[in-house]
Amino acid sequence: MRPEARTSTGTGKTQRGQSMIEYLVVLLAAVVILLAPIPSIVPGTLPDNASVLTQLSVALRGFYSDYSWAASQPVVD
């Protein structure tokens, strides 16, 4: 490429750092969604208004306990 073709226009300097702001906004939205209290999907199993992370951890613990129980059963020939 010729050196003349590489010269930047003035628009590149005004948009510097814009993508970092966009990443921060998306990250902040994801954190708010994960930590915001929401009503329980299955009433009675979780405290009322638990966060998505709390509901996810309870579900994963339940799935793992079911899996570990099934894995501990003897093999029948």
Q: What is the pLDDT of residues 42-71, one digit of tens each?
A: 677 677 788 888 888 888 988 999 899 999
Task: Report if residue 76 sits inside a domain.
Answer: no
pLDDT at position 17 is 74
pLDDT at position 6 is 55
Task: Report if residue 8 sits inside a domain.
Answer: no
Task: Report if residue 66 sits inside a domain.
Answer: yes
Q: Tell me the pairing of strands 37-38 and 50-51.
A: antiparallel
List Cβ neighbours of 13 (8 Å cut-off, separation of 6 or more): none
Total number of domains constituting the chain: 1
Instruction: Tell me how far CA of residue 64 lies from CA of 9, 23, 42, 68, 77, in angstroms.
Output: 57, 33, 18, 6, 25
Structure tokens at 49: 């208004």
37 falls in which pLDDT band (50, 70, 90)?
confident
Task: Report if residue 47 sits inside a domain.
Answer: yes
Task: Report if residue 4 sits inside a domain.
Answer: no
Task: Report if residue 43 sits inside a domain.
Answer: yes
**Domain membership of residue 19 as a residue range:** 13-71
Task: Report if residue 57 sits inside a domain.
Answer: yes
Helices (H), the chain: 11-14, 18-35, 52-71
Instruction: Between 10 and 19, name the one with better pLDDT.
Output: 19
Say whether pLDDT at 7 is over 60. no
